[in-house]
Structure 1
Amino acid sequence: MMKKINYSIRILTALVFTIFLSSCSNDDDSIDTLNVYSATVNGSNLSDGLSNVALSGSIEIAFSHTLEAEAFEESFSFSDAQGEANYTASLGNAGSKAVISYSGLNPGSAYSIVVDQSSLGENGESLNTDFSGSFTTTSEVEETKTPCTSATADCIEQIEIAEGASFNFYSSYDIISDQEYTWEEIEEVVFVIHGQNRDADEYFRYMTNAVGDVGKLENTLIISPEFKEETNAADGELFWDNNWREGANSGNTDIAISSFSVLDDIVVYLSNQEKFPNLKEIKFAGHSSGAAFVQHYAFVNTSEAAYTEYEFQYIVANNQYFYYPDGRRYNEDTNEFYVPTDCTGYDFWPYGYETAPSYVDGMSQEDLLQQQITRNTIYLLGTDDTNTEGTLNTTDCAATLLGSNRLERGRNIFTFFDTFYTENNQELIEVPNVGHDADAMFNSDEFKNILSRD
């Protein structure tokens, strides 16, 4: 009797062990297998026969496991009879979803999407078989835009800042007048701010030449604001005295709008992601008085904090009026910083925090300091901008305390931050053999290198 019981126990044990091995084997299969849960093109299920697909859009493929990015890119193909499509691939949803953004597909063409059977998963999981799908694009050719570069009235756009208050700017695309178009091609915006002559058309020409030379004209929106004086402003247009470069309010009757607020309003317009879905970077570049505007706008503006999805950068070229966050100034004779005692008002705006314009209301001196330290600011200096005659302010002590000429004033403000706030986000770039010349500065190799940075 005992022998039969032992025999039965042995059989039962073997059976349990067999089930255990089978279970483990099934678990291993589930770990090693990668499945496609869903695939869509612009929100529609990807199935053979899908037609009338837009020439620009996105494909999403959801997998059962986290993918290894490089392995997916090697196994993925997207093409028609004329060759591989123009696309970029990225991973979302904690790495389990492949997102393929495409553009410029051929109209009325049949496209195939294939993911080869291979180890795509982060832990070696692989597809059991190739995944594939196909669709046909729309036969309608999508509208494309040609940049406006003429620096004439053809390139002028007008935006309403407030009821009865408008503002003009030169623009490489008709972003205001064409309300129906989606600006998918625009990836970057460059604001270029004119000098004291208020020649926004010339500055627009300088910048379109520079951006064109680096091959980015099609994907860059160039905006050259025109801060008009009263004699040149039409009814309903905003105008300013020379203090436009300091963020002062407009001189219009019953309308007080800071020159800084105008740029904020344009940024708000550009932040519409339905109209500008691929915008990533916003640059502000100014020369001379325009540089003074940009240096101050860099650390006071409310736009950068409001739109953290964009990368902001400020290029200050050949400025003479710098804001310092405290009362220390640089002595070029002793190469030391000190606190002046013989210049009343040297820390008044635009040199310091005192008497700041109403735009700054609610911001403390410490707030501005922290923003000035952290915001991406480049001092672009012509090494020949040393002339002490002409428009350089050599009479007001508040200005002369900044340095002996524009070149030294730029070097001094950089030295200030490099000395007292070493963890700053500022950079000094010098342009050899160039003086006080906006065209030469913005079309220098040094500035073009800034434009070409990824």
Structure 2
Amino acid sequence: MTRNPEGPPSRAANAQSPVRRTAFARRASLTASAIAMTLACIGAPAHAAPGDAAHVYSPHLRPVSHISDTRMRIDTPGGPAEFALYVSRDWDRPQPAVTRAIIVIHGKLRNADTYFHSAETARDAAAAEGANTDADTGVDSGVDTSGTLLIAPQFLATLDFAGRDEPADLLRWDANGWMAGDAAVAPQAVSSYAVLDAIVARLADRTRFPNLRHVIFAGHSGGGQVVQRYAVAARDLGALAQAGIDVRYVVSSPSSYAYFDAERPVPVDAQACPDFDTWKYGMQQRPAYLADRTPAQLEAAYARRRVTYLVGGNDDDPQQKALDRSCPAEAQGPQRVARAQAYFRYLQARHPQGLDQTLHVVPGVGHNGARMLTSACALAAMFDTAGCAP
């Protein structure tokens, strides 16, 4: 179900606003023939090895069920474009009550509506925890989520447009290219990371959000990959810092991480695995968005960022269906728990002076985004609740 922001603006306001809502839902059901034709035309993702059949017909490469009717206008050097997203409030108007913004990134299924719902559930869980009064002291724990703005961007693929009457200026990417910061294939060549920059710029606008204090990027699985890479790549966060807004990243159970040199926890035969150190796994062949900075500069910025890594304790199946089992990913470890622990040890060894980053293994949880994003440690990272064991 589409979730439109509260208090929709007038038609006149919509006509001139960077965010608009379509007049009606464009959710026509795809016919079997349209789906078959779309799947037949799918090629390997931009970062898959040529001829890698395991990636070509991955089950996530199918049209999304829903495309959000809420749009954000993005001005690019090539002209304007629009981006689909879910927003919990009308951010065209000043929102002085907003003190915290949660930007939750979907995974490979591009099901932003599902992740928006998970963010709502997390917010409600944090509020419920805040409503509990300590039985011994009689003191309320003080967690207040009423000032939370929820944002769920939707990075669409070209195949999502099959059988749909969507506007030509709606941004779309080639397969999973959005996960690595690639430029959209239409209507303008804008990086998916630049889209996140545009969201950041809007949040930094003190005429809209005069009391915003916290911005949190959170993502699970494929979304966790985006959040981790954006924490490496982001270049326009200065506006938030200048406004006194703190920024955090919650990276939940990604298949892989961006390393800063050729070191890996698993020995690599570079001839047999020539792409192991290319972006998004390493620093070679970085996309244009971050090619203007050296690996050392990117690492220095990343080491200063506040990152919480989460992984389910039971997310340790080396054959899990959504796990990246490509050669570059296997060089990082056999499964998600091992990869998360190896990457965190790698960072600790490279930055012995200390990091404002933590790793938490969530016991009893497998590869489940809803449970991970509502876990005690996720709530602590996003809403400053108590209860996350060190």
* TM-score computed with the length of structure 2 as normaliser: 0.71
- Structure 1 counterpart of 2:202: 269
Contact 2:268 2:331 in 1 (8 A): no
- Structure 1: distance between partners of 2:158 and 2:275: 29
- Structure 2 counterpart of 1:206: 118
Superposed displacement of residue 157, structure 1:
2.7
Letter aligned with residue 324 of structure 1: Y
- Structure 2 counterpart of 1:329: 264
Structure-2 change in CA distance of 1:397 and 1:155 (3 Å): closer
SS of match in other structure, 2:337: helix
- Structure 1: distance between partners of 2:95 and 2:201: 15
Superposed displacement of residue 156, structure 1:
4.8
- Structure 1 counterpart of 2:378: 447
Q: Which of the residues 405, 408, 428 maps onto 2:359?
A: 428
Q: Which of the residues 274, 293, 309 maps onto 2:226?
A: 293
- Structure 1 counterpart of 2:88: 172
- Structure 2 counterpart of 1:392: 323
Correspondence list, 1:366-405, <5 A? 366-389=296-319, 390-394=321-325, 396-405=326-335
Letter aligned with residue 157 of structure 1: T
- Structure 1: distance between partners of 2:280 and 2:329: 10
Superposed displacement of residue 340, structure 1:
5.4
Q: Which of the residues 60, 72, 79 maps onto 1:159?
A: 72
- Structure 1 counterpart of 2:153: 225
Superposed displacement of residue 428, structure 1:
0.3
Structure-2 change in CA distance of 1:265 and 1:452 (3 Å): closer
Contact 2:145 2:383 in 1 (8 A): no
Contact 2:312 2:365 in 1 (8 A): yes
- Structure 1: distance between partners of 2:99 and 2:68: 19
- Structure 1 counterpart of 2:12: none
- What is the root-mean-square deviation of aligned Cα atoms in Å? 2.1
Correspondence list, 1:22-421, <5 A? 156-162=69-75, 163-176=79-92, 181-215=93-127, 216-233=144-161, 234=166, 235-241=168-174, 242-253=176-187, 255-308=188-241, 309-331=244-266, 341-342=270-271, 343-389=273-319, 390-394=321-325, 396-421=326-351
- Structure 2: distance between partners of 1:218 and 1:157: 22
Superposed displacement of residue 391, structure 1:
2.1
* TM-score computed with the length of structure 1 as normaliser: 0.62
SS of match in other structure, 2:323: coil
- Structure 1: distance between partners of 2:323 and 2:375: 23
Superposed displacement of residue 175, structure 1:
1.0
Contact 1:329 1:340 in 2 (8 A): no
Contact 1:172 1:223 in 2 (8 A): yes
1:23-77 CA-to-partner distances (Å, cap 9, x unmatched) read: xxxxxxxxxxxxxxxxxxxxxxxxxxxxxxxxxxxxxxxxxxxxxxxxxxxxxxx
1:270-328 CA-to-partner distances (Å, cap 9, x unmatched) read: 21111110001110001111111000000210132343121010111001121001111
SS of match in other structure, 1:303: coil
**Which segments of 5 or more consecutive residues in structure 2 lack a partner in the other structure?**
1-5, 9-23, 26-66, 128-143, 386-390
% identity of equivalent residues? 30
Letter aligned with residue 247 of structure 1: G
Higher relative contact order (CA 8 A, sep 6+): 2
- Structure 2: distance between partners of 1:182 and 1:236: 26
Superposed displacement of residue 448, structure 1:
1.5
- Structure 2 counterpart of 1:113: none
Work out the number of aligned pairs and report it.
Answer: 294
- Structure 2: distance between partners of 1:167 and 1:341: 39
Superposed displacement of residue 218, structure 1:
2.1
Contact 1:155 1:171 in 2 (8 A): no
SS of match in other structure, 1:268: helix
Letter aligned with residue 221 of structure 1: L
Superposed displacement of residue 450, structure 1:
2.1
Contact 1:170 1:201 in 2 (8 A): yes
Contact 2:200 2:237 in 1 (8 A): no
SS of match in other structure, 1:379: strand
Letter aligned with residue 201 of structure 1: D
Structure-2 change in CA distance of 1:449 and 1:388 (3 Å): same
Letter aligned with residue 418 of structure 1: Q
